[in-house]
Amino acid sequence: MLKIVIATMMLVPSALLLKPKILYQTMISYTFILAAISLTLLKQNTFLKPMSNMYLNVDMISAPLLTLSFWLLPLMIIASQHMLLSEPLQRQRVFLMTLMLLQTTISLTFLASNLTLMYIMFEATLIPTLILITRWGQQAERLTAGTYFMMYTLTTSMPLLMATLFLNNTSYTPTPFSMTMQPVNMWTDLLLWMACLAAFLAKMPIYGLHLWLPKAHVEAPIAGSMVLAAILLKLGGYGIIRMMQIMPTTKTDIFMPFMILSMWGAILANLTCLQQTDLKSLIAYSSISHMGLVIAALMIQTQWALAGAMALMIAHGFTSSMLFCLANITYERTHTRIMMLTRGFHNILPMMTAWWLIANLLNIAIPPSINFTGELLIISSVFNWCPTTIILLGLSMLITATYSLHMYLSTQAGKTLSNSNMHPTHTREHLLLIMHISPLILISLKPELVL
């Protein structure tokens, strides 16, 4: 674990010191090597070789998420290359340095063995993300988006800090995840749960605390959108799983408001997708609806629900990142994200139409994929908890299929409205999309790696 963290940290000065000629080749090569090393974490024998020390810890919950974050790191650099070419060299270096800093804080969050370290690193991810959104964003509203992002995160993380300090004082330790708190009294336990869940639910985000996400996505550069959708939303789910290891055990009935809000919120987010005209905003709202299912599953606290939540988080990480890459490829050619203005792409870039179709089918959760496995496990566990929820879940699935089809047809079918000379697709872009889809196919063949 330390070899991965130290190697990632060493990429921060590398981004500033490498010669301009070999900057991208070296950074991409090194990050791909790190991604390959992180794959070894998925298959670990905890009895023969425990992968933990006093401060860092890898188990079957953090390993898939850690591998996902390392896998997407080189893809973020590849996706940003076109955007960075017009920038001065110094800004390109700072951009790469910010990405490496963000990766370091994210990996330390997933590797933390106690609550205090996880809280510090969870909040530290805010700074590089904020720099990405406000410095490399596309429109003037990026400062507003950054303010929204910061205020939502900081406001909800204050109760989490109080709860962390309370737990540390009670246990006289930095609260390791292997320790479960004894119940104090009903109201203290309830307040503790509320304080701990607020920060992670806002990060997921649950419907109602979701307004920062579409704003941040619309303004962020492509690397910012990829890391937001694929990894930062998963920090919320990971935090909830860890909290359930520490907090006093409570009945699921207490979480009923959150479960109803998350499932109903998923439907409302899906309906919002149907009326979006902005492509990136539509993909951002689809993330909110998928994360609603994950929240509902995590609140049930059963084995099946947890397995489904993990599968859907990993699947959603690759799928939404792929959709953002496709939206960016379109944006680089048309310089607009309005779906009506990007019509008829199947005439101009037929290969891209195939990628769009695959990405949308994965978004719908087509059967053999890991997306389907995750959704099936979640639906089964939620249905087992309360059969009436099948109405909400069924509606959610139906509307997801509708807006995915709408997105596909709006961007690909019809007569093209763009009259500018478009350059053809690059090998770099096809490689980027293949690198998104190959892990999904491989995980679908061997799902126990993430379950």
Phi, psi for 425 (deg, rounded to 5): -70, 150
Distance of CA 251 to the CA centre of its chain: 29
**Single-letter code of the amino acid located at 85:** L
Phi, psi for 278 (deg, rounded to 5): -85, 125
User: How far apart (Å, rounded) are the C-alpha atoms in residues 262 and 59?
Assistant: 27
Domain residue spans of the chain: 251-451
- 276-279 contacts, C-beta under 8 A, 24 or more apart: 276/339, 277/338, 277/339, 277/340, 278/218, 278/337, 278/338, 278/339, 279/327, 279/330, 279/331, 279/337, 279/338, 279/339, 279/342, 279/407, 279/411
Tell me: the pLDDT tens digits for 246-304? 888 777 788 899 999 999 999 999 999 999 999 999 999 999 999 999 999 999 989 99
User: How far apart (Å, rounded) are the C-alpha atoms in residues 340 and 410?
Assistant: 6
CB 315 within 8 A of CB 362: yes
The pLDDT value recorded for residue 48 is 54
Task: Spell out a b/e string for 37-50, using b for 16 or more CB atoms within 10 Å of the CB, else e.
Answer: ebeebbeeeeeeee
pTM above 0.85, yes or no: yes
- In the chain, % of residues over pLDDT 90: 68
Report the SS3 class of residue 60.
coil
User: How far apart (Å, rounded) are the C-alpha atoms in residues 416 and 418?
Assistant: 6
CB 216 within 8 A of CB 133: yes
Region of 175 on the Ramachandran plot (φ > 0 left; ψ -120 to 50 alpha; else beta): left
Please list the ranges in the chain whose pLDDT falls under 70: 45-50, 418-420
Q: How many CA atoms lie less than 13 Å away from 255 in the CB half-sphere?
A: 23
User: How far apart (Å, rounded) are the C-alpha atoms in residues 330 and 420?
Assistant: 13
Task: Spell out a b/e string for 57-79, using b for 16 or more CB atoms within 10 Å of the CB, else e.
Answer: bbeebbbbbbbbbbbbbbbbbbb
The pLDDT value recorded for residue 45 is 67
Tell me: the pLDDT tens digits for 137-176? 877 788 888 999 999 999 999 999 999 999 899 888 888 8
The pLDDT value recorded for residue 419 is 63
